[in-house]
């Protein structure tokens, strides 16, 4: 896309009427311990047995407003069209109720489309919500241009432990979100539109030279 996969949008000043929100998701494997970990003591690190028990999967949606230092993490048991549609409805009605247009930076996953709203809600409601959003897609094979991936990576590193249930994952996500939002932790993105055009010119010369 001509703005370097969202780099141009993210560089824009904050605008309450035109918020720029990066959205992504990640499957999370739920793992339990087969033996009780031995807690850390003076001179002895925490010890965790290498064996674990699988408890299925969960999904983690994240929305990040990089320049505002705001993020929302939501855990779902699945990653379906309906799950994504309800996440969009939350953004539109609960966090950005007065915005004229919410600019979404997303990758090319098949559920990242306004069509999920029409598959989930009655037509009038779907139309109302669809009018609130404008989708901006990162180029294929360049989803790293979506800053939401950074936030997901930071969260994953912050866990440093196994998570055995969706409820436990939701608690950890809520705590992470609360602390980061309280501190208004922004993401300093220095990758410019020109950088994107140079980095992606071989893959997307026609779309990035316009």
Task: Identify which of 24, 82, 25, 27 has the alpha carbon closest to the alpha carbon of residue 57.
Answer: 27
Angle at CA of residue 140, ends 151 and 77, nearest 5°: 50
Tokens, residue 130 = 């669809």
Q: What are the phi and psi torsion angles at 27 (to 5°)?
A: -70, 140
Tokens, residue 86 = 């309800």
Q: Is the C-alpha dihedral spanning 173, 179, 181, 184 positive or negative?
A: negative
Q: Is residue 112 part of a domain?
A: yes
pLDDT digits (tens, 9 = 90+) for 127-159: 999 999 999 998 776 666 688 998 999 999 998
- Please say if the pLDDT value at position 119 is more than 50: yes
Q: What is the average pLDDT value for the chain, to the nearest integer?
A: 83
Could you give the CA distance from residue 119 to residue 126 in angstroms, rounded to a whole number? 8
Residue with tokens 């919410």: 102
Contact between 132 and 102 under an 8 Å Cβ cutoff? The reply is yes
Strand pairing category for 20-33 and 102-106: parallel
Residue 146, domain extent: 7-31+51-184+193-208
Task: Assign residue 60 the CATH number of its domain.
Answer: 3.30.420.10
**Structural domains of the chain, count:** 1
pLDDT digits (tens, 9 = 90+) for 71-82: 999 999 999 999
Q: Is residue 38 part of a domain?
A: no
Q: Is residue 2 part of a domain?
A: no
Q: Is the C-alpha dihedral spanning 157, 158, 160, 164 positive or negative?
A: negative
Q: Is residue 106 part of a domain?
A: yes
- The pTM (predicted TM-score) of the whole model is 0.80
Q: Is residue 146 part of a domain?
A: yes
Could you give the CA distance from residue 155 to residue 179 in angstroms, rounded to a whole number? 11
Q: Is residue 118 part of a domain?
A: yes
Please give the average per-residue pLDDT across 62-86, as a whole number.
Answer: 94
Query: What Rg do the C-alpha atoms of the chain give, in angstroms?
Result: 19
Q: In what order do the strands lie in the sheet with 102-106?
A: 70-76, 52-65, 20-33, 102-106, 133-137
Q: Is residue 42 part of a domain?
A: no
């Amino acid at each position: 896309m001509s703005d370097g996969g969202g780099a141009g949008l993210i560089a824009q000043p904050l605008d309450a009427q035109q918020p720029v929100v990066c959205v992504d998701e990640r499957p999370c494997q739920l793992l339990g311990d087969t033996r009780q970990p031995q807690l850390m003591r003076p001179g002895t690190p925490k010890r965790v047995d290498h064996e674990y028990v699988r408890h299925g999967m969960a999904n983690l949606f994240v929305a990040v407003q990089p320049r505002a230092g705001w993020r929302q993490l939501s855990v779902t048991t699945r990653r379906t069209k309906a799950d994504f549609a309800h996440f969009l409805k939350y953004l539109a009605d609960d966090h950005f109720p007065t915005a004229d247009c919410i600019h979404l930076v997303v990758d090319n996953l098949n559920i990242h489309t306004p069509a999920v709203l029409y598959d989930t809600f009655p037509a009038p409601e779907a139309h109302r919500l669809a009018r609130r959003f404008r989708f901006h897609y990162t180029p294929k094979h360049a989803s790293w241009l979506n800053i939401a991936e950074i936030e997901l990576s930071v969260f994953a590193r912050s866990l440093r432990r196994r998570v055995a249930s969706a409820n436990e994952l939701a608690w950890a996500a809520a705590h992470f979100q609360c602390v980061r939002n309280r501190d208004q932790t922004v993401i300093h993105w220095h990758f410019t539109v020109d950088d994107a055009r140079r980095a992606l010119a071989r893959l997307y010369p026609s779309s990035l030279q316009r």
